[in-house]
């Protein structure tokens, strides 16, 4: 269970006791692939046997590939079986007094897992080992991001304790981070063909240690004294990070040739290059539709993100190019819209929208994005304007699989970006939309990067061509590439069939696409030399990708067949999951300790697994919740909002600023100083806009990615007012005397 700074326990007659004693996490990163090994140590401090149930998140595209448990000297490796069979074996084991462990993935949301520990005896200790592999996301600043949630907070029922009827009754004790009684150790080892530049974190780390002279291997640990007030977030930076790569992995010796696990599998990572001349940030106008979360959690006093959403929307609106259309929807259990239809972007419509956004309340109930999406997709298009959707939410959404399916069906006509702000957002949608889960500090940067991408020309006519030796064929296991965005990785998995000779090493894959009505091709050459040293990581990631594709097709067929499931596809999912050892919504890991001695006597209470969204609603709105924020993070947010937000408020929709609406005070000058320094031949609006641009370049270069679109629009407006006359950056000296020195003098500042 991911929370920023709290631990919640079940309430028992003897007070809160927590069986989780310690968490040990080992992270192994090879290039952009992460293997995560977590060991969790529990002890039952009750005087009765308990069944502990833990609900926790994992990345939506993670391939869970190992689960084992240890009690005393006994170590049990779990088997992956069909979910119904695994659950029946678990229940049978508990009924017969045996100790059992069940790890299952939610069929509704694949980023939710539950771990059941059954018949844990009084005073008994047990450890659980969980392993998964995942692809690390690339951030806007080219860092690879790994996030370890503040995890595995328990809900459990001792024998003889009456089952709670309400989730809020179960989670009724909130502990501050300083009182969390379990420890966390975290270590990471990073290796890559390219040197590691640096490793940063939201938490304190020990100094980075390079393990070789060329800095391609490094290790780092979490510093002692970690407080449980935030997720452990790691950002890994390589030199020349955006380099295409190919990994060819040999099949499993024990697996049958011709099967996924028996044949070699290749993973291709592609980074298409786009000419800068075609990627002007104001090259494309469009219809921009913003979906803003107005669910109950947005109004919670403890929610630090409620201000951020409105500020983010302000930044987006101010950055839109002239000639565009826009509309804003608020959603919860129901939805509403500011305008009946999208309206042309102007000073009047922007001001009207901002006033209505300021008056919005968090009064629309739950977090249902599906219905407004269906409505938006049904609306007619505005001629020659592509439609761009931006979804901003801080919560766990309803029916994420249906949402992803709907978005994918409309991907040919709509671009859609999802921003999950805070710890409660759905990682299924974050990974499905290839967007990250943002903290308040980074949300401005991320949404502006997405807006820049939305304003770039659309990549069309995408195709992939394989050039393989004679007798070797490739079966693509991942979904076809339908969208290419600058700065984002495109990953392809393929099973290689046929006889691969040692002399047949040279292969290539060519990515063809059209951009700005011009054809482009990116070719990646690689050696067909399968490696056995990757631990089947590529096979498991490929299996997970194929499993997700099959489950999506299963959902589509179920909808077409009016609720009737396709048993053949379901059977194929189970077979592939069991064969590869990768979990799915239709399988579960089961481990039974058949050597536990005397059977545990008496009935054991079985509790329901709570939905994560409901837990977050209760946690965030608890009056006892104590939010503890890192001082540096808060300082960065404050500086950005305090100094840049007033400047945003003053900018007009056209891109200009006015000289008499509070601008001098934002710049730290008096109106008289600003007026006195204005050249006679320059209008007040042009002068005000030049000063605002100068201030941004002089004092806010560290936030350039956030305000770059604002500045481009403003500079274009200035140039339009003066015909062929070029204006360069102008700066003040200490006496406010104006110095004009040609086009945009670099490295000069307001003093």
Is 369's pLDDT higher than 50?
yes
Helix ranges, 287-327 (H): 306-319
Is 37's pLDDT higher than 90?
yes
Return the pLDDT at 321.
87
> What gap in Å lies between CA 497 and CA 500, rounded to an integer?
8
**Both tokens assigned to 128:** 């659980």
pLDDT-based confidence at residue 437 (cuts at 50, 70, 90): very low
pLDDT-based confidence at residue 604 (cuts at 50, 70, 90): very low
> What gap in Å lies between CA 470 and CA 626, rounded to an integer?
64
Which residues does 608 contact at the CB level (< 8 Å), separation at least 6? Answer: none
Return the pLDDT at 722.
67
Give burial (CB, 10 Å; 0-12/13-18/19+) of 538.
buried
Three-state secondary structure call for residue 336: strand
Is 643's pLDDT higher than 80?
no
In 423-536, beta strands by DSSP E? 437-438, 459-467, 473-476, 490-497, 506-515, 518-527
* Cα three-residue angle 724-725-730, rounded to 5 degrees: 150
- Whether residue 248 contacts residue 264, with contact meaning beta carbons closer than 8 Å, is answered with yes
**717 to 286, 287, 654, 711, 722: CA distances (angstroms):** 19, 21, 7, 10, 9
Which of 309, 320, 329 is closest to 287 using CA atoms?
A: 320
Return the pLDDT at 219.
96
> What gap in Å lies between CA 202 and CA 630, rounded to an integer?
8
Between 451 and 353, the higher pLDDT residue: 353
Which of 475, 447, 349, 523 is closest to 709 using CA atoms?
A: 447
DSSP conformation class of 398: S
DSSP conformation class of 31: T
Looking at the chain, the whole-number percentage of residues with pLDDT higher than 70 is 72
Q: What mean pLDDT is predicted for residues 130-157?
A: 73
DSSP conformation class of 457: P
Q: Across 72-76, 245-249, 398-402, 516-520, which has the greatest mean pLDDT? A: 245-249
Q: Across 162-176, 339-353, 376-390, which has the greatest mean pLDDT? A: 339-353
DSSP result, 481-508: P----TT--EEEEEEEES---TT--EEE
Q: How many CB atoms lie within 10 A of CB 670?
A: 12
Give 533-559 pLDDT, tens digit per residue: 778 999 999 999 999 888 888 877 776
> What gap in Å lies between CA 179 and CA 198, rounded to an integer?
32
Average pLDDT, the chain: 75
Judged by average pLDDT, the poorest of 28-42, 69-83, 543-557 is: 543-557
Strand pairing of 325-331 and 343-344?
Answer: antiparallel
Judged by average pLDDT, the poorest of 268-272, 582-586, 621-625 is: 621-625
Which residue is listed with tokens 């990785």? 489
Is 456's pLDDT higher than 80?
no
Is 563's pLDDT higher than 70?
no
Is 441's pLDDT higher than 50?
no
DSSP conformation class of 644: I
Return the pLDDT at 627.
30
pLDDT-based confidence at residue 14 (cuts at 50, 70, 90): very low
Between 68 and 699, the higher pLDDT residue: 68
DSSP conformation class of 701: G
Return the pLDDT at 172.
30
Question: Sheet of 79-82: strands edge to edge?
Answer: 79-82, 587-593, 99-105, 112-120, 50-57, 154-158
Which residues does residue 28 pair with via DSSP β-bridges, in sequence order?
35, 189
Can you list the domains of the chain with their CATH numbers? 7-241+584-594+602-620 (2.60.40), 245-278+462-543 (2.60.40), 287-455 (3.40.50.410), 632-739 (no CATH)
Return the pLDDT at 598.
52
**Both tokens assigned to 261:** 């696990």
The dihedral region occupied by 517, where left means phi > 0, alpha psi between -120 and 50, and beta the remainder, is left
Q: What mean pLDDT is predicted for residues 559-574?
A: 80
Burial 48-65 (b: 16+ CB within 10 A, else e): bbbbbbbbbbbbbbbbbb
Return the pLDDT at 3.
26
* Element housing 131 (H / E): strand 125-135
Strand pairing of 414-421 and 63-71?
Answer: unpaired
> What gap in Å lies between CA 286 and CA 347, rounded to an integer?
17
Q: What mean pLDDT is predicted for residues 301-321?
A: 68
Which of 8, 107, 6, 2 is closest to 59 using CA atoms?
A: 2
Between 265 and 151, the higher pLDDT residue: 265
Q: What mean pLDDT is predicted for residues 83-96?
A: 92
Three-state secondary structure call for residue 185: strand
**Both tokens assigned to 133:** 């592999």
> What gap in Å lies between CA 431 and CA 594, rounded to an integer?
39
**Both tokens assigned to 508:** 């290539």
Q: Across 149-153, 242-246, 569-573, 644-648, which has the greatest mean pLDDT? A: 569-573
Give 159-218 pLDDT, tens digit per residue: 444 433 322 223 333 344 555 567 788 999 999 989 999 999 988 899 999 999 999 999
Judged by average pLDDT, the poorest of 194-203, 229-238, 259-268, 720-729 is: 720-729
Q: Across 3-12, 410-419, 457-466, which has the greatest mean pLDDT? A: 457-466
Q: How many CB atoms lie within 10 A of CB 231?
A: 19
Q: How many CB atoms lie within 10 A of CB 580?
A: 26
Which residues does 166 contact at the CB level (< 8 Å), separation at least 6? Answer: none
Q: CA Rg, the chain, in Å?
A: 28
Three-state secondary structure call for residue 204: coil
Return the pLDDT at 679.
83
Looking at the chain, the whole-number percentage of residues with pLDDT higher than 90 is 28
> What gap in Å lies between CA 529 and CA 538, rounded to an integer?
14
Give 666-697 pLDDT, tens digit per residue: 888 888 888 888 888 888 998 899 889 888 88
- Whether residue 260 contacts residue 494, with contact meaning beta carbons closer than 8 Å, is answered with no
**646 to 34, 369, 545, 687, 708: CA distances (angstroms):** 42, 31, 46, 18, 16
DSSP result, 55-82: EEE--TT-EEEEEEEEETTEEEE-EEEE
> What gap in Å lies between CA 716 and CA 709, rounded to an integer?
11
Is 748's pLDDT higher than 90?
no
DSSP result, 222-266: BPTT--SSS-EEEEEEETT----EEEEEPPPTTSPTTSTTTS-EE
Three-state secondary structure call for residue 50: strand
Give 649-672 pLDDT, tens digit per residue: 899 999 999 987 689 988 888 888
Is 2's pLDDT higher than 60?
no
**Both tokens assigned to 453:** 């991408």
Return the pLDDT at 459.
83
């Amino acid at each position: 269970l991911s929370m920023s700074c709290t631990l919640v326990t079940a309430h028992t007659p003897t007070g809160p006791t927590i069986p989780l004693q310690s968490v040990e996490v080992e992270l192994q990163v090879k290039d952009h692939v992460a293997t995560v090994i977590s060991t969790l140590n529990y002890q039952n401090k009750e005087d009765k046997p308990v069944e502990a149930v833990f609900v926790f998140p994992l990345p939506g595209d993670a391939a869970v590939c190992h689960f084992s448990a240890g009690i005393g000297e006994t170590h049990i490796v779990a088997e992956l079986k069909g979910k119904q069979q695994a659950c029946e074996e678990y229940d049978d084991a508990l009924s017969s007094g045996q100790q059992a462990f069940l790890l299952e993935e939610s069929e509704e949301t694949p980023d939710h897992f539950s771990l059941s520990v059954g018949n844990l005896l009084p005073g008994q200790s047990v450890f659980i080992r969980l392993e998964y592999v995942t692809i690390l996301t690339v951030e806007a600043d080219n860092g690879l991001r790994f996030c370890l949630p503040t995890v595995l907070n328990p809900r459990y029922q001792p024998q003889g304790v009456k089952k709670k009827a309400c989730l809020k009754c179960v989670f009724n004790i909130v502990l501050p981070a300083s009182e969390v009684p379990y420890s966390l150790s975290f270590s990471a080892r990073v290796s890559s063909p390219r040197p590691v530049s640096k490793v940063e974190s939201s938490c304190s780390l020990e100094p980075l240690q390079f393990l070789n002279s060329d800095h391609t291997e490094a290790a780092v640990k979490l510093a002692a004294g970690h407080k449980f007030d935030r997720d452990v977030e790691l950002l890994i930076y390589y030199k020349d990070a955006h380099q295409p790569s190919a990994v060819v992995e040999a099949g499993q010796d024990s697996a049958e040739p011709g099967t996924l696990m028996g044949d070699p599998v290749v993973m291709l990572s592609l980074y298409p290059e786009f000419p800068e001349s075609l990627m002007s940030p104001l090259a494309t106008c469009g219809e921009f539709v913003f979906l803003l979360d107005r669910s109950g959690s947005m109004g919670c006093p403890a929610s630090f993100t409620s201000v951020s959403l409105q500020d983010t929307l302000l930044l987006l609106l101010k950055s839109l190019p002239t000639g565009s259309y826009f509309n804003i929807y608020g959603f919860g259990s129901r939805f509403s819209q500011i305008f009946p239809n999208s309206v042309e972007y102007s000073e009047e419509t922007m001001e009207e929208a901002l006033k209505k956004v300021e008056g919005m309340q968090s009064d629309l109930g739950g977090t249902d994005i599906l219905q407004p999406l269906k409505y938006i997709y049904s609306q007619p298009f505005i001629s020659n304007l592509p439609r761009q959707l931006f979804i901003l939410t801080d919560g766990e959404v309803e029916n994420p699989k249906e949402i992803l399916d709907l978005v994918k069906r409309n991907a040919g006509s709509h671009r859609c970006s999802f921003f999950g702000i805070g710890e409660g957002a759905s990682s299924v949608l974050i990974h499905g939309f290839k967007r990250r889960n943002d903290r308040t500090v980074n949300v401005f940067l991320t949404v502006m990067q997405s807006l820049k991408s939305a304003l770039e020309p659309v990549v069309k006519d995408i195709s992939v061509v394989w050039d393989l030796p004679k007798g070797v064929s490739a079966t693509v296991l991942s979904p076809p590439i339908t969208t290419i965005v600058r700065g984002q990785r495109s990953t392809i998995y393929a099973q290689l069939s046929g006889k691969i000779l040692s002399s047949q090493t040279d292969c290539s894959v060519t990515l063809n696409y059209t951009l700005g009505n011009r054809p482009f091709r990116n070719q990646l050459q690689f050696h067909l030399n399968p490696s056995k040293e990757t631990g089947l990581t590529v096979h498991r990631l490929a299996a997970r990708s194929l499993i997700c594709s099959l489950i999506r097709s299963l959902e589509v067929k179920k909808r077409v067949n009016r609720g009737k499931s396709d048993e053949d596809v379901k059977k194929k999912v189970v077979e592939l999951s069991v064969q590869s050892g990768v979990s799915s919504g239709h399988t579960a890991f089961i481990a039974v300790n058949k050597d536990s001695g005397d059977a545990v006597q008496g009935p054991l209470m079985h509790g329901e697994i709570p939905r994560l969204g409901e837990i977050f609603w209760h946690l965030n709105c608890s009056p006892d919740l104590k939010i503890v924020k890192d001082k540096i993070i808060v300082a960065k947010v404050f500086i950005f909002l305090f100094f840049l937000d007033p400047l945003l408020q003053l900018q007009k929709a056209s891109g200009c600023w006015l000289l008499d609406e509070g601008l001098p005070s934002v710049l730290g000058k008096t109106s008289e100083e600003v007026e006195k320094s204005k050249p006679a031949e320059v209008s007040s609006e042009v002068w005000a806009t030049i000063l605002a641009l100068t201030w941004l370049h002089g004092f806010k270069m560290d936030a350039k990615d956030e305000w770059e679109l604002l500045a481009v629009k403003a500079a274009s407006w200035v140039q339009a007012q003066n015909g062929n006359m070029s204006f360069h950056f102008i700066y003040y000296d200490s006496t406010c005397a104006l110095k004009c020195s040609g086009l945009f003098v670099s490295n000069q500042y307001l003093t």
